[in-house]
A and B are shown apart, each in its own frame.
Chain A
Amino acid sequence: MIDMKQIKENVSSKIRSQSQEDTTTTSTPPVNYNTRTDAKPSVCASIGSTIHIKGDVSGNEDLTIHGHVEGNVNLKGHNVIIGKTGSVEANIEAKHITVEGELRGDMNGDEKVIIRATGNVHGNIIAPRVTLEDGALFKGSIEMEPQKITSVKNSSPKESKSDRISA
């Protein structure tokens, strides 16, 4: 025979324990991104759309720029994304560079440079692989070395189809 009262109690106690778990999860202190460690952080740093930086930017983690940066951006071994609202007047050195906004400056990508359809770039690119989406604006020079392309392809066999289409 099914005891409905017992079932109700079981369900309510389960809900209570779940809500306690949730509160303990949310009460975890936030990650301190200012601490420099060798381990790569899982979340990338971001420069907000109202932020205006004059000077060099360097660090040990990925960076997304939605605001304005004037200077040099040096994030060797990491990814840099210039968002749609981002506007950068700087030379950028990074592993992967993706431009969705505006850039006036040179890019040195260790692995790949992508200019999205909304991107507008005036500058020179040195990278083994360069992808320009339809509608992207680019004025400058591109230097590519086929030997480097082969080494990048060999080191990343699990690429998506869209990546393989790129240069």
Chain B
Amino acid sequence: MSLRPLTSFKAVEENVCISKSPLLFSLLKPKQDEQRLEILDIGAARNNSIEYLSQIYCKVFISDCMSELCAMNNSLIEKPQKLNRALISALHLYKNKPADLDVILMWDIINYLDTSILSSMINYLLPHTNNTTQLHAYIHTSRLMPETHGKHEIISDQKIRSDNDSAITRDCPMYYQDALNKHLHPFKVKRSILHANGMQEYLFAK
């Protein structure tokens, strides 16, 4: 069965996008039991995001490892120790000092990772999650997407700013729900919204 793209992507005209992200902001709320919210941001540290998150009692882990993760390829799967070292170096989370993550912000990285690396990363993160951990991501729904991942930050008024300077495009893996459930196991699609810019916003939970 051939998959048809839901939307089209114009790389040059749409390199900056400000959009509402209701699913993300449904996660970024103080916990009811007044416990600290633990958030992992795979992307780079951005002042606006930190300013926004400072309003919540939280601990934010900033990995700034999107490029590192994208550079990993399937050949690492045959060398599990090397892969583990690479994931530790990228994500800086240690088994002997586990985090208790409530929210994982994946931004658009899922579109750019080899599927086996994606599954390995989820397995690596599992000891740092709990039963209520939710994973947030954007999935491209067009046939083409920018060559590299974007930069994302939370700006005021519950909005997200996404920058992508790539003028070059590449084929998009166009993940549908079943494929995402498989690659992100044990996380499954909880909710999703299709945005006007061609991004589908997803929430995943166990």
A contact set with B: CB distance below 8 Å: 129-134, 136-147, 149, 165-167
Query: How many of B's residues come within 8 Å of A, CB to CB?
Result: 21
The 4 A-B pairs with the shortest beta carbon distances in the complex, nearest first, are: A167-B54, A138-B45, A167-B51, A132-B47
A140-B92, A146-B56, A167-B54 known; A131 and B47 CB under 8 Å? yes
Q: Chain B binding site: helix, strand, loop or mixed by DSSP? A: loop
- Which residues on the A side are within 8 Å of B65 (C-beta)? 139
- Give the complex CA separation of A138 and B36 in angstroms: 21
Partner of A132, one of B50, B61, B92: B50
- Which residues on the A side are within 8 Å of B44 (C-beta)? 137
B contact set with A: CB distance below 8 Å: 36, 44-47, 50-51, 53-65, 92
Q: Is the CB of B57 within 8 A of A145?
A: yes
Known: A130-B54, A146-B55, A146-B56. 18 other contacts (CB 8 A): A130-B50, A132-B45, A132-B47, A134-B47, A137-B64, A140-B92, A142-B59, A142-B62, A143-B59, A144-B53, A144-B58, A149-B54, A165-B51, A166-B51, A167-B47, A167-B51, A167-B53, A167-B54
- Which residues on the B side are within 8 Å of A141 (C-beta)? 59-62
Chain A residue nearest in CB terms to B47: A132
- Which residues on the B side are within 8 Å of A139 (C-beta)? 45, 62-65, 92
- Which residues on the A side are within 8 Å of B50 (C-beta)? 130-132, 142, 144, 167
